[in-house]
Amino acid sequence: MKEAARAELQTKVADVLAALDAFSIPKTAAYRKAVEDRCGNLNTQLQTQASDAELEGILGRQLEEEIKLCDDELGLIPSMAEWKPWKAAGTVNVVEDGSGEPVAQEGGAADK
């Protein structure tokens, strides 16, 4: 485990939230809401868990893996800003937690 993983994760979460603004992702977009929700949950856990081991147990992965997920999100945000899926007709499912279930949904009824 990296010595400064917790501090690095806190920085990455802040970077992700700042990137949403920097790339003008609308506050009403389901994608932004899902990312903000995930980051908010991470921030809460970072502030309330005493040890890294407890935090990793709750998150279900190592802090370094969470850092990688934040890096992945930072790479995705510019593309989302370019694609603007919130302007698309129909449904856009955003899956970010690895469960295979939609975290956020925007638009009409889900296509099966």
Residue-wise pLDDT for 31-52, tens only, equals 999 999 999 999 999 999 889 9
Write down the pLDDT at residue 110: 41
Residue type at position 3: E
Q: pTM for the whole thing?
A: 0.77
Close Cβ partners of 83 (under 8 Å, ≥ 6 residues apart): none
| Residue 38: other Cβ atoms inside 10 A | 19
Helices and strands in the chain, H and E counts: 4, 2
For the chain, the structural domain boundaries read 5-99
Q: What would the two tokens of residue 29 be?
A: 């977009």
Q: Which residues of the chain have pLDDT under 70?
A: 1, 89-112
